[in-house]
């Protein structure tokens, strides 16, 4: 309970009041005690002197006895004094013998030997009142005053006044003071509690609102009841609430943006703390590393990337944080990853974490390799006919030109190689236009019967010459296809040419066409040729790829026909694939849309 500010304030008020009252009480009681005792002492001294001055005429010249009238007079004085003060009076002669008293009459004639009496009779000097404790709580103020006549001590007046009444009065005052003190403390406690509540209630309310804010509820507002410091604190709290709410909304917005960026960016991002433990990953990074969602969180960063291909010193330099690093790493399933590792630091340049950015460069590396292979293949394909032409030209220039039988053969070879280069260049130009998307298309709806009849006429004589049987299914008269006629003829020519090249005499080639329920036309060219090894099928549409390179070159092939065919079919919105078994033949199937639209 006393840990609360409210009770601390109340206790502080009470202690301050109590300390002040104690200080005032000590001074007040001391002054009260001094005042009452001083007053009693002063009154007693005055009374004693008046009695001494009055009684000096009651003693005879000898000072040892008094007349009966004087004794009566002294008895009256003694009785009156006792009635007024409540004390006792002793009238003594110069020998200290009691001649009259307000006490018991049996004391008359006895000698008083008290110190104050002896001192007054012997010195003749007025003494000061003294406090005497008689024991058992009986305290008296005593005073002995000499009675002088013509500078001669003729007797003495000895007064004893009890202090009980004085002390009762003082104690009564003390009780009144302490009662007032406790009453003041009670009122102070009540007022302190009320005042403390006016201070602590707003503070408690602000504290409660602050706890709600800490839980994420920023709708809290403090009611302002005054314009003092507490009210200003409430206004500051409300302003802080608005500012925090706006700041957190801004942070949440930025966080959502970053999350959206990380979620949808194609590059993988991994963030690790100072200890190297992964804190954040995005789906792209998890996919590149072949991990499930959240599987990398909490794991060491170095365990998630494969540095086995790097030297130990290089791997250590990468993870040390000396500088950003770019490395090529192995990923799962044969993927190639480009990794950029950097470190973020605080204002004191202290290393506080790591950022790893991954990019899947498999396709880029594949395309780069294909580009290098393409350049090499083009160079090789062009160099071969050029070398042949150059050799035959040199031979002609050396004199073969003048031998008609030989020179004609040489010129025919040069012509064939030239045509081969022309075909190669034309195919390359066509591929280039297809890649760039600048080739001209003339799409229209045509009847398939006309297409197949034209194909048959083009290849019929060549098949007879090579002793190969050419069959094709006659489509329905109403079977149509939406295509570029020239491009379709080129695709069919490329496929049938390959079948002729790789089918031996006595073999068969069959062309089939049929429509499907999903409004597509399926073309199927099947032959009984040499077939294609299973391991070569995935590469069959690559540029310059040949299964039998010697036979292909001998037949004048460029190795680009199937690649061109695939791009043309896909440009129509169709698909193409090859099924083949070595030694048993090949089936090439492609589809085209039956009606308008690609």
Q: Sorting pLDDT into bands at 50, 70 and 90, what band is 508?
A: very high
Q: Which residues of 111-148 are buried (b: 16+ CB within 10 A; e: fewer)?
A: ebeeebbeebbeeeeebebeeeeeeeeeebbbbbbbbb
* Residue range 573-598: mean pLDDT, rounded: 83
Q: Which two tokens stand for residue 224?
A: 């302002």
CA distance 175 to 525: 128
Q: Please tell me the predicted confidence (pLDDT) of residue 307.
A: 59
d(CA 532, CA 540): 9
Residues 6+ apart with CB under 8 A from 259: none
More reliable by pLDDT, 545 or 484: 484
Rounded to whole angstroms, the Cα distance separating 145 from 159 reads 8
Confidence label for 66 from pLDDT (cuts 50, 70 and 90): low
Of the candidates 253, 267, 298, the residue with the CA atom closest to the CA atom of residue 280: 298
CA distance 514 to 520: 9
Cα 201 to Cα 96, 206, 209, 227, 233: the distances in Å are 79, 9, 12, 15, 13
Lowest mean pLDDT among 191-205, 406-420, 493-507, 560-574: 191-205
Burial 241-263 (b: 16+ CB within 10 A, else e): beeeeeeeeeeeeeeeeeeeebe
1-5, 254-258, 499-503, 563-567, range with the lowest pLDDT: 1-5
- Give the closest residue to 205 by CA, choosing from 188, 219, 222: 222
pLDDT at 311 over 50: no
**Residue 391 pLDDT:** 81
pTM for this model (two decimals): 0.43
Q: Taking the mean position of all CA atoms in its chain, how far away is CA 326?
A: 30
Would the pLDDT of 325 be above 80?
no
Task: Please report the pLDDT score of residue 93 as a whole number.
Answer: 83
> How do residues 357-369 score in pLDDT, each as one tens digit?
888 887 777 777 7
The top-scoring range by mean pLDDT among 93-97, 342-346, 496-500 is 496-500
pLDDT at 312: 44
- Max distance between CA atoms of the chain, in angstroms, equals 206
Using alpha carbons only, what angle is made at residue 554 by residues 548 and 560, rounded to the nearest 5 degrees?
A: 65
Instruction: Give the C-alpha separation, 234 to 52, whole Å.
Output: 81
- Determine if residue 305 is left, alpha or beta; phi over 0 gives left, psi from -120 to 50 gives alpha, anything else beta: beta
* CA–CA dist 230, 54 (Å, integer): 77
Q: What is the rounded CA–CA span in Å between residue 421 and residue 159? A: 159
Containing 175, the helix (H) or strand (E) segment is helix 164-214
Read off the pLDDT of residues 425-464 as tens digits, 9 standing for 90 and up. 776 777 677 776 777 778 888 888 888 888 888 888 888 8
What does the pLDDT read at residue 275?
78
Contacts of 55 (CB under 8 A, 6+ apart): 74, 77, 91, 147, 155, 157
The C-alpha atoms of residue 401 and residue 167 are separated, in whole angstroms, by 163
Q: What's CA 132's distance to the chain center, in Å?
A: 84
Asked whether the beta carbons of 64 and 94 are under 8 A apart, the reply is: yes
DSSP 598: -
Q: Please list the residues that pair with 155 across neighbouring strands.
A: 93, 147
Determine contact, residues 407/401, Cβ cutoff 8 Å.
yes
Give per-residue pLDDT as tens, 288-305: 888 888 788 888 877 776
Helices (H), 502-559: 549-554
d(Cα 137, Cα 149) in Å, to the nearest integer?
Answer: 38
Average of per-residue pLDDT values in the chain: 77
Q: How far is CA 119 from CA 87, 115, 162, 351, in A?
A: 21, 6, 21, 100
Q: Which helix (H) or strand (E) holds 338?
A: strand 336-345
Cα–Cα distance for residue pair 557/542, rounded to 1 Å: 14
How far apart are alpha carbons 350 and 368 in whole angstroms? Answer: 40
What digits encode the pLDDT tens for the residues 364-405? 777 777 677 667 766 766 777 788 788 878 887 877 777 777
Show the tokens assigned to 263: 């979620």
Structure tokens at 31: 């002054």
Asked whether residue 557 carries a pLDDT value surpassing 70, the answer given is no
Q: Please give the full DSSP string across 126-143, using - where no structure is assigned.
A: PPPPEEEEEETTEEEEEE
């Amino acid at each position: 309970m006393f840990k609360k500010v409210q009770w601390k304030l109340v206790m502080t008020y009470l202690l301050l009041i109590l300390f002040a009252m104690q200080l005032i009480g000590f001074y007040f009681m001391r002054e009260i005690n001094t005042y009452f005792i001083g007053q009693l002492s002063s009154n007693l001294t005055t009374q004693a002197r008046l009695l001494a001055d009055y009684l000096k005429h009651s003693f005879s010249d000898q000072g040892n006895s008094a007349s009966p009238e004087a004794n009566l007079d002294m008895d009256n004085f003694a009785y009156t004094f006792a009635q007024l003060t409540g004390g006792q009076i002793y009238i003594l002669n110069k020998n200290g013998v009691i001649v009259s008293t307000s006490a018991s009459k049996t004391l008359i004639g006895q000698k008083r030997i008290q110190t104050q009496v002896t001192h007054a009779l012997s010195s003749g000097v007025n003494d000061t009142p003294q406090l005497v404790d008689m024991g058992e709580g009986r305290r008296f103020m005593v005073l002995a005053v000499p009675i002088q006549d013509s500078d001669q001590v003729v007797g003495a007046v000895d007064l004893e006044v009890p202090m009980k009444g004085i002390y009762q009065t003082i104690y009564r005052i003390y009780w009144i003071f302490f009662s007032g003190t406790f009453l003041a403390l009670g009122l102070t406690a009540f007022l302190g509690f009320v005042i403390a509540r006016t201070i602590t209630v707003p503070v408690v309310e602000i504290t409660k609102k602050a706890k709600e804010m800490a839980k994420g509820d920023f709708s809290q507002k403090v009611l302002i009841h005054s314009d003092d410091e507490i009210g200003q604190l409430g206004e500051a709290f409300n302003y802080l609430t608005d500012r925090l709410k706006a700041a957190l909304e801004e942070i949440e917005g930025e966080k959502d943006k970053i999350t959206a960026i990380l979620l949808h960016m194609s590059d993988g991002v991994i963030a690790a703390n100072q200890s190297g433990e992964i804190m954040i990953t995005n789906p792209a990074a998890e996919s590149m590393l072949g991990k499930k969602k959240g599987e990398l969180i909490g794991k060491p960063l170095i365990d998630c990337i494969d540095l086995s291909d790097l030297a130990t010193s290089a791997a250590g330099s990468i993870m040390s944080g000396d500088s950003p690093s770019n490395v090529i790493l192995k990923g799962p399933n044969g993927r190639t990853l480009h990794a950029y590792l950097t470190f973020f630091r605080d204002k004191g340049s202290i290393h506080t974490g790591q950022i790893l950015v991954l990019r899947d460069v498999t396709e880029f590396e594949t395309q780069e390799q294909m580009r290098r292979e393409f350049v090499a293949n083009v160079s090789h394909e062009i160099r071969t006919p050029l070398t042949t032409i150059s050799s035959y030209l040199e031979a002609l220039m050396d004199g073969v030109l003048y031998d008609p039988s030989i020179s004609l053969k040489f010129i025919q070879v040069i012509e064939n190689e030239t045509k081969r280069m022309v075909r190669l260049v034309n195919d390359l130009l066509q591929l280039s236009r297809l890649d760039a998307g600048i080739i001209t298309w003339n799409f229209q709806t045509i009847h398939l019967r006309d297409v197949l009849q034209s194909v048959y006429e083009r290849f019929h004589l060549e098949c007879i010459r090579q002793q190969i049987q050419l069959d094709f299914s006659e489509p329905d008269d109403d079977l149509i296809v939406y295509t570029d006629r020239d491009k379709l003829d080129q695709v069919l020519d490329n496929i049938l040419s390959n079948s002729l090249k790789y089918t031996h005499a006595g073999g068969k080639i069959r062309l089939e066409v049929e429509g499907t329920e999903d409004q597509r036309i399926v073309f199927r060219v099947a032959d009984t040729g040499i077939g294609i090894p299973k391991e070569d099928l995935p590469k069959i549409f690559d540029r310059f790829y040949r299964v039998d390179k010697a036979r292909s070159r001998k037949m004048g092939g460029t190795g680009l026909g199937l690649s061109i065919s695939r791009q043309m079919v896909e440009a129509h919105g169709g698909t193409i694939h090859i099924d083949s078994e070595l030694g048993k033949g090949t089936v090439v199937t492609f589809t085209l849309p039956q009606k308008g639209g690609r």
